[in-house]
Amino acid sequence: MKDRMLFPTCPDGEFFGRAREIDYICRRASEKPSPAIFLFGRRWTGKTETLRRVYRELFWNQAKVVPLYYQFKGYGSPEEFSEDYLKEVLKQYLAFRLRDARYVRQEISLDKLDRLLVDNDLYPLADLVAIHREARKASDTTAALRNALSSPAAVSSRSGIPVYLILDDLDKAAGPAGGKDLQLTRELMGSLTLAQTSFVASASVRVPFGGGAFNGSAEAMEMTGLDEELSASMMLDLCRLYHVDAETEILKLAANRLEGNPMYMKSLVWAASKTGQGLTTLKEFADVYTAELFDGNIGLALRSALGLSGINSLRVLHSCSVAQRPISDEELSERFRQGAGELNGIIDGLSRAGLIEVNLGSIKWAGDAAVKDFIYYVYETRVKGRSAEEVRTYLAREVLKEGFNFRSSKISVKLKDEAAEVIKAFNNQKILKILLRNQSFAARFKKGSVKGPGDEGEVHLPQTVGCFDSERLEAGEAGGPILVAHGFQNGRYDSGNEVVWMVSVKDAASPVNTGDVENFLRRSLILKENFRAARLSRWMVGREGFTAEAGKRADTEGVFSSDAVQLRIIRENLEEGSRASRKTPDRIVPVREFEVVLPSASKAELVAARAVEEIGTEMGFDDAAIGQIKAALVEACINAFEHSRLKTAKVFLRFVASADRLTIYVQNGGVDFDSPAEPLSEAPSDGLPRKRGWGFELMKGLMDEVRVERLRGGAKIVLVKYLVEKGDGRNGQEV
């Protein structure tokens, strides 16, 4: 088999989440006219990997453009750049024409390249080599530069196929001192503008040449870190590969701390593997992270990339990294007693490194959290003289605290789910009215004299038959959706007893205020139009309770009000009542998670079906429900594979088994899944159903909830099936 390797890239199994960008650039490359694209992103967000994969795709899988990849490295002189650039252009064209990847990888001398061009009858291109030699001999920098920069156009004219330039690390073209090679940057931008060569160029900073402009029209693409789900999937895969024990929640936390930066995340897993540690607890993560940041790959990479030359530069950087707001250059000058010249030099350097953003004298931190931690470490040890161990201890403590908060915030997301659970558990039961009146509850709780049901009485709850959120009914409304539950009062299923509960949930650190109450009153009034026949009950739930005025207003309007504590008590009471009425033994079902990664292989979806059969059986779903879940999951997997951009792409499945439901997340690394809104195939003429486009309708028909969540770098289908205890005949049906 022929060797098809071009520029080095990481193994496919370790590359995640950039399929959309690769696909977009490749698609735009072959368009006429092809637009210029500037790809911006912080260090190590995967720009080079992405561009090299674009090159590989264009090299092997199309013939509309000749791809030429060039990575700027920061040169000693424009002459050296000219020779290097010319050689790359010529040998890559030879490689493309002769379909021989070796020319891309090998270092070829100018003499040999000259011979190869002549041997292949590419005389006009061989002339470029001759012109280059003449220019160097005459020490004519401008001629050498222009000759090299015109080489892509010469290739295009010789081959008759337009050239597509892939320029990596464009910001390094300015040289290590920034602006030192003004001639190079001016000529380069001029050649890109005048030659109308199509290109994509990556840079770590938004203004690669400190204001030097490209005069054509261009698109800007921002390459941010991978999102939390994708990052966690990537890390989980790597953990499996390197035999590191891991917990999804900790990986999500790590992804959050590392802002989805692929290099950091890989380094973290490698470090855990190397030291034999796991990533299953917060403490383990804090240990691995701080060690990696100070002495590991991340620290090493940051040390060399940031190039913190002087102590003043470090001071300025530290000030910017800890400042809550942008700082002015005057403020910095005063703080560090530095002259304008020196300070400007420092600011320029830090700005070029992408660590700060300068805007009209206002300086803002632009680095990521890991860089900030690293700067803190270097500053505390070098400037303040603290020991490495002391700083490590402090940072580990911060990581633990942040991780704890992160977990708490994750838990708080569940308030709405908890409210929905409570509504579903109403089941014709009664609860103390005080649990639905926050002001009374708070007053009595404060006084420490909670009285029984006597003076407040009880509320008779309906039997609910379904609960959904109002998103579809009020698409344009700001604020979170309102939960809507249908039910019947008094155990009678007739229109006279039909009732609708509307529940607003405020899951924030501040109490419900009068504005929230007014907003809910307005929205519920409009929403009620959808359910005219039914009697309306309104309920507001606020994690932090209600302000006095809001509580009063809610009471006046007959709106029930509860905080998180009341909600929990209601839930416990309802569950207790429900258990007592069913006379079934109490059981605690913890939430369990399973993860399966499907390779791109024939019938791989059946592996998922088998897995869910096991999980579903264990949870107590009956055969009919298991059959429905399997069929829906197969559809979701097929859809995920179909829309993965890479042929070797995997599909990630996460099964979350909780007490009352099975939730399945199906995620790919490609573009969006099909959605029901997409055009469907036409129906056959004889009244038979249409042939294609049934995937989503099947999923929706077979599951209780189906939704698609768009993610950066892909999409995720979420399938939910509720569990109803065996024997009541409703297992797998809508509840």
Partner 1 sequence: MVKRYKNFKEVGETVVLYPDNYINDIEGEKLEELCTSYLERGFKKVVIDFSETDIINSIGVSVLIGMIEKVRDMNGNILFSGLKQVNYDVFSIVGLTKHIMIYETEEDAIGGNAKASGAVTTA
Interaction site with partner 1 (CB under 8 A): 602-603, 605-606, 609, 623-624, 627-628, 630-631, 634-635, 638, 684, 686-692, 694-695, 697-698, 701-702
User: How is residue 279 annotated by DSSP?
Assistant: B
In the structure encoding, which two tokens stand for residue 526, read together?
């409009």
- Give the integer Cα–Cα distance in Å for 699 and 666: 12
Report the first-to-last Cα separation within the chain, whole angstroms.
58
In whole angstroms, the minimum distance from the beta carbon of 693 to partner 1 comes to: 8
Q: Which residues contact 384 (CB under 8 A, 6 or more apart)?
A: none
- Give the integer Cα–Cα distance in Å for 344 and 339: 9
In whole angstroms, the minimum distance from the beta carbon of 624 to partner 1 comes to: 5
In whole angstroms, the minimum distance from the beta carbon of 689 to partner 1 comes to: 4
Give the CA-trace dihedral at 563, 566, 572, 574, to 10 degrees.
-100
Q: Which is nearer to partner 1, 267 or 628 (CB)?
A: 628
SS3 (DSSP) at 672 = coil
Residue type (1 letter), 97:
R
In whole angstroms, the minimum distance from the beta carbon of 639 to partner 1 comes to: 9
Q: Which is nearer to partner 1, 551 or 695 (CB)?
A: 695
- Give the integer Cα–Cα distance in Å for 77 and 181: 7
Q: Which is nearer to partner 1, 311 or 624 (CB)?
A: 624
Q: Which is nearer to partner 1, 2 or 603 (CB)?
A: 603
Q: Which residues contact 151 (CB under 8 A, 6 or more apart)?
A: 85, 86, 89, 90, 125, 128
Q: Which is nearer to partner 1, 110 or 604 (CB)?
A: 604
In whole angstroms, the minimum distance from the beta carbon of 677 to partner 1 comes to: 17
CB 257 within 8 A of CB 402: yes
Q: Which is nearer to partner 1, 370 or 634 (CB)?
A: 634
In whole angstroms, the minimum distance from the beta carbon of 600 to partner 1 comes to: 15
Q: Which is nearer to partner 1, 437 or 630 (CB)?
A: 630
| DSSP secondary structure, 627-641, as one string | HHHHHHHHHHHHHHH
In whole angstroms, the minimum distance from the beta carbon of 623 to partner 1 comes to: 7
CB 231 within 8 A of CB 267: no
- Give the integer Cα–Cα distance in Å for 67 and 173: 20
Q: Which is nearer to partner 1, 498 or 605 (CB)?
A: 605
Residue type (1 letter), 170:
L
Q: Which residues contact 352 (CB under 8 A, 6 or more apart)?
A: 171, 174, 178, 205, 210
CB 452 within 8 A of CB 428: no
Q: Which is nearer to partner 1, 172 or 630 (CB)?
A: 630
For residue 371, the surrounding DSSP H or E stretch is helix 369-382
In whole angstroms, the minimum distance from the beta carbon of 298 to partner 1 comes to: 45
Q: Which is nearer to partner 1, 453 or 684 (CB)?
A: 684
In whole angstroms, the minimum distance from the beta carbon of 695 to partner 1 comes to: 5
User: How is residue 4 annotated by DSSP?
Assistant: -
Of 374, 365, 385, nearest to 325 by C-alpha is 365
Q: Which is nearer to partner 1, 449 or 602 (CB)?
A: 602
SS3 (DSSP) at 136 = helix
In whole angstroms, the minimum distance from the beta carbon of 481 to partner 1 comes to: 27
CB 661 within 8 A of CB 605: no
Show the CA angle centred on residue 255, arms to residues 250 and 256, nearest 5°.
95
SS3 (DSSP) at 8 = coil
Helix axis angle for 282-295 and 388-412, nearest 10°, is 140
CB 527 within 8 A of CB 482: yes
Residue type (1 letter), 613:
E
Q: Which is nearer to partner 1, 386 or 700 (CB)?
A: 700
Q: Which is nearer to partner 1, 529 or 686 (CB)?
A: 686
Q: Which residues contact 304 (CB under 8 A, 6 or more apart)?
A: none
In the structure encoding, which two tokens stand for residue 471, read together?
């998103």
In whole angstroms, the minimum distance from the beta carbon of 705 to partner 1 comes to: 16
Give the CA-trace dihedral at 328, 329, 332, 336, to 10 degrees.
-170
In whole angstroms, the minimum distance from the beta carbon of 698 to partner 1 comes to: 6
In whole angstroms, the minimum distance from the beta carbon of 394 to partner 1 comes to: 55
Of 165, 38, 142, nearest to 89 by C-alpha is 165
- Give the integer Cα–Cα distance in Å for 371 and 354: 11
Q: Which is nearer to partner 1, 24 or 694 (CB)?
A: 694
For residue 70, the surrounding DSSP H or E stretch is strand 66-71
In whole angstroms, the minimum distance from the beta carbon of 694 to partner 1 comes to: 4
Bond preceding residue 33 cis, omega within 30 of 0: yes
In whole angstroms, the minimum distance from the beta carbon of 603 to partner 1 comes to: 7
- Give the integer Cα–Cα distance in Å for 657 and 590: 8
Show the CA angle centred on residue 621, arms to residues 615 and 622, nearest 5°.
125
In the structure encoding, which two tokens stand for residue 321, read together?
């990294």
Q: Which is nearer to partner 1, 405 or 681 (CB)?
A: 681
Q: Which is nearer to partner 1, 448 or 687 (CB)?
A: 687
Q: Which is nearer to partner 1, 424 or 630 (CB)?
A: 630
- Give the integer Cα–Cα distance in Å for 442 and 445: 5
- Give the integer Cα–Cα distance in Å for 103 and 113: 10
In whole angstroms, the minimum distance from the beta carbon of 635 to partner 1 comes to: 6
In whole angstroms, the minimum distance from the beta carbon of 19 to partner 1 comes to: 23
